[in-house]
Structure 1
């Protein structure tokens, strides 16, 4: 899929020390029948290997983007991830 065309579906997953659950979560997302989506994984300063797992998935699938940030908690992490996503969308009407 060309990078200039935004996906109609955007998924955001925030992660903090969930290495035990992350592979299954990502495998299930990637197994969906709708292939035209983008996935933003926001790592909230994990101290386990959650970030490395997310990065390994992103390396093999260009629909996945990983952001590593200092720990700030679920609410601020989700707000930050959504804001980043909205800023990356093409502006309409310009």
Structure 2
């Protein structure tokens, strides 16, 4: 479970933390969290993907959600016996 938090939740927290801080221009005096950097990053991604930069954040959110669902489905499958025993104990 520790590795799940490190390799899944950590990068998601870093990305979405940067996204919302830079979106609202809470820069703490650094250029990394500025709105200009936010616009530049999504303009570059928009040019690389040949799409509107405003369409990229919802696509990223949907990808994170789908990846999360797949990850938890794999974890539930791996622990299906424990989950089944827990449900049977509750019933």
The normalised TM-score by structure 1 is 0.32
Which one has the bigger helix percentage?
A: 2
Larger relative contact order (Cα-Cα within 8 Å, sequence gap ≥ 6) = 1
Larger-Rg structure: 2
After TM superposition, the score normalised by the length of structure 2 is 0.33
